Amino acid sequence: MSEVRTRFSPSPTGSLHLGGAHTALFNWLIARHFQGAFVLRIEDTDKERSKEEFVTEILDAMGWLGLNWDEGPYRQSERLPIYLEYIDHLLAKGAAYYCDCQPEDLKMRREAALARGEKPKYDGRCRHRNLKPGPRTAVRFKGPETGVTRWHDLIKGHIAFDNQELDDLVILRTDGIPTYNFAVVVDDITMRITQIIRGEDHIPNTPRQIQIYEALGAELPGFAHMPLMLSTDRGKLSKRRGAKSVLDYRERGFLPQSLCNYLARLGWSHGDQEIFTREELIQYFTLEHATTSPGVFDEEKLLWVNSQQMKAMPPAALARELTPFLARIGIEAPEQEYVARAVPTLSARCHTLVEMAEAARFYFQDPRPYEEKGAKKFLTAEAAPILQEVARRLESLPEFSEAAINQLFHDLAAETGLKMVNLAQPVRLALTGRTASPGLFEIINILGSPETLQRIKTAISFAAGNT
Ligand code: GLU
């Protein structure tokens, strides 16, 4: 089998959104699964709407997602001479022609056709006029007037278009810029793309592109059209409903592997498995298990996937990911080993790195002010001697370990007849400022003896005055 080559070809007219990332990911996974090549191409022929800052942002988002490319980024704006060569080729073969119909005339003729109840397609006026190039001429593709253009879509199955439905497409505009349907075919031929995987909104373009392949005598690639993503109310994803930029998710504390995991499962499945490592995705991903029904983008599920991915991550790596989020809340350059010890205690309760940084705060900063309700209930004058006793026993622990701390609390409960909650809650408040936190013994063990004792002493003063 020849090498599998896929591509992602965003237009830099906006940020990389989830829909684009979904397409990029499917192409990347197919390339990686078959050990082929993944090509990145920037479709920037629309000078007005293309912006360099979006190119930068798209590359940044791809890099963050880990969707590395083997070739490119190519830029259509740098490939104009290649397109012109192919235009000349079609003109020479008689498969394209010059057209001097002006926009105003085309508009009038379209309206007249509509008024007669006909389809408003190009009427073929210049098709047989043998015009020469001029300042206001465009080039049109001479499409077949009869017959059917069909393909076997690798996701959607058989698709056919009646050629009568398709008019002669402009392939080179009067300003010398090729149109999308033409440039994309020349690119995909010259870049030797074997599978074109893109959103189903491109289905109407495909018969036109197939006709151009055929006119150029080029071998057809496979086409796969992915169902579009829907919002939870089954409408189109909009800015308000989930069509956010990939980098927003980075900002909000999602891991790139969570987004990839989640997006891979939208429109593809592997049995009942929901959580995948990157390697597993590469190993299992083929279009045979792509689904034809649209995937619904569900943020709740993405949050769940993210929490699972955080849990599955080695602590040192998770600590590295968390560090910039700690910096955001004023915890600068924390010791990585310490962060790595703290993160496993937090991952069961957090859905994002933003949440985790907040939950981790007490490991690094004074836990005060204490949660008001909790302090009123547990940091009372009666609690002060309990805290004192805990401190005394902690101080004289021969070995400071989680097991020893656990034993200490159980012995104290047994000896005093106090319920564990009345013993643990004052200490928890003293150390974390809250009534809910990770396991108390692991916290004490991580904070270490001097810091724990210091915090308990501060809480004793508070409690003594809390009458
Ligand atoms: N540049 C096109 C887009 O952003 C992609 C075209 C294609 O995949 O063929 O929609």
239 classed as catalytic = yes
In the predicted structure, residue 139 carries a pLDDT above the cut 80? yes
> What residues pair up with 196 in beta bridges, in sequence order?
223
The mean pLDDT of 29-46, rounded to a whole number, is 97
Per-chain mean pLDDT for the chain: 95
CA distances from 148 to 145, 163, 196, 210, 216 (A): 9, 5, 21, 11, 18
**Other Cβ atoms closer than 10 A to 103:** 9
- Pocket of ligand 1 contains residue 202 by CB under 6 Å: yes
Q: Is the CB of 428 under 6 A from ligand 1?
A: no
One DSSP character per residue, 441-455 reads HHHHHHH-HHHHHHH
The tokens describing 208, both together, are 């036109």
3-state class of 8 per DSSP? strand
For residue 21, report the distance from its CA to the centre of ligand 1, in Å: 12
- The backbone torsions φ and ψ at residue 223, rounded to the nearest 5 degrees and listed phi first, read -115, 135
Closest CA to 22 of 269, 297, 312: 297
pLDDT at 94: 96
Phi first, then psi: what are they for 461, rounded to 5°?
A: -60, -45
Per cent of the chain over pLDDT 70 is 98
What is the bridge-based pairing of β-strands 37-42 and 71-75? Answer: parallel
User: What are the φ and ψ backbone dihedral angles of 19, each rounded to 5 degrees?
Assistant: -60, -45
Task: Determine the distance separating the centroid of ligand 1 and the alpha carbon of 290, expressed in angstroms.
Answer: 20
**Residues 195-252: tens digit of each pLDDT:** 999 999 999 999 999 999 999 999 999 999 999 888 877 777 755 555 589 999 999 9
The Å distance, Cα 338 to ligand 1 centre, comes to 46
Q: How far is the CA of 10 from the centre of ligand 1 (A)?
A: 6
CA distance 229 to 266: 8
pLDDT in tens, 324-365: 999 999 999 999 999 999 999 999 889 999 999 999 999 999
Higher pLDDT, 36 or 235: 36
DSSP SS3 for 294: coil
Per-residue pLDDT, 239: 54
| Position 301 pLDDT exceeds 60 | yes
Asked if 54 and 22 touch (Cβ cutoff 8 Å), the reply is no
SS3 60: helix
Looking at the DSSP bridge assignments, the partners of residue 199 are 226
Q: Which domains does the chain have, with CATH numbers?
A: 5-77+228-303 (3.40.50.620), 79-226 (3.40.50.620), 313-364 (1.10.8), 372-464 (1.10.10.350)
Side-chain-side CA neighbours of 5 within 13 Å: the count stands at 17
pLDDT at 119: 86
Q: In terms of pLDDT, which residue wins out, 443 or 241?
A: 443
Atom of ligand 1 nearest to the CA of 184: 9
Q: Angle at the Cα of 259 (from 254 to 260), degrees rounded to 5? A: 145
What would the mean pLDDT of 143-159 be, rounded to a whole number? 97
pLDDT at 240: 57
Give the per-residue pLDDT at 238: 59
Q: Identify whether the C-beta of residue 183 lies closer than 8 Å to the C-beta of residue 83.
A: yes
- Residue to substitute in 7, 26, 30, 43 for testing ligand 1 pocket (most ligand atoms within 8 angstroms of CB): 43
Pocket test for ligand 1, best of 9, 46, 208 (most atoms within 8 A of CB): 9
Between CA 369 and CA 145 the distance in angstroms is: 78
Atom of ligand 1 nearest to the CA of 43: 1
Q: CB-based burial of residue 195 (10 Å sphere; 0-12 exposed, 13-18 middle, 19+ buried)?
A: buried
Model confidence at 19: pLDDT above 60: yes
pLDDT value at position 241?
A: 56
In short, whether 10's Cβ falls inside 6 Å of ligand 1 is yes
The length of the chain in residues reads 467
Distance CA 208, CA 122 (A): 14
Q: How far is the CA of 428 from the centre of ligand 1 (A)?
A: 55
For residue 432, pLDDT over 90 is answered with yes
| Burial of 339 from C-beta contacts in 10 A (0-12 / 13-18 / 19+) | buried
For residue 302, give the nearest of 353, 239, 249 by alpha carbon.
249
Query: Are the CB atoms for 284 and 256 separated by under 8 Å?
Result: no
Q: What is the pLDDT of residue 242?
A: 54
Pocket test for ligand 1, best of 76, 184, 206 (most atoms within 8 A of CB): 184
CA distance 379 to 376: 6
pLDDT of residue 322: 98
